[in-house]
């Protein structure tokens, strides 16, 4: 069984944020912190862009489940889309992932495997 611990990697004070900003940051981090969404992130990182049917085929998921996860990830800004005719391709938003890492680093709360 994996145990996650929180390491305090910085002594900087917490960034000043209002409650709305914290709620937004929490929603975005939760969008990344899910087994299937992590698999989708890995797939998109490897393939640069993918059609929803390619994603659900690779992960052996139902199309509706995949679409729901992608919609949440799109709302959080983790993925973007590119429409070509009737096809929509999903692309990983690396700048958003960097923001998540930066926020986690600033707060000093980085989950690590023990």
Whether 12 is covered by a domain: the verdict is no
Whether 28 is covered by a domain: the verdict is yes
Whether the predicted pLDDT of 16 surpasses 80: no
CA-derived radius of gyration, the chain: 16
pTM summary value: 0.71
Give the domain extent around 24: 19-109
Whether 10 is covered by a domain: the verdict is no
**What confidence score (pLDDT) does residue 6 get?**
45
Range in 10-19, 56-65, 86-95 with the lowest mean pLDDT: 10-19
Domain count of the fold of the chain: 1
Closest CA to 4 of 93, 100, 112: 112
Whether 4 is covered by a domain: the verdict is no
Using 50, 70 and 90 to split pLDDT, how confident is the model at 107?
low
Q: Across residues 84-111, what is the average pLDDT? A: 79
**What confidence score (pLDDT) does residue 71 get?**
93
Q: What is the CATH number of the domain that holds 99?
A: 1.10.10.10
Whether 6 is covered by a domain: the verdict is no
């Amino acid at each position: 069984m994996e145990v996650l611990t929180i390491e305090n990697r910085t002594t900087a004070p917490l960034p000043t944020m209002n409650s709305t900003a914290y709620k937004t940051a929490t929603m975005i981090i939760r969008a990344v912190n899910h087994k299937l969404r992590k698999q989708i992130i890995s797939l998109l990182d490897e393939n640069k862009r993918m059609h929803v049917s390619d994603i659900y085929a690779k992960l052996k998921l139902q199309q509706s489940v995949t679409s729901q996860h992608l919609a949440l990830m799109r709302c959080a800004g983790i993925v973007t889309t590119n429409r070509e005719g009737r096809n929509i391709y999903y692309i990983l938003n690396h700048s958003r992932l960097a923001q998540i890492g930066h926020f986690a680093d600033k707060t000093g709360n980085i989950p690590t495997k023990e």
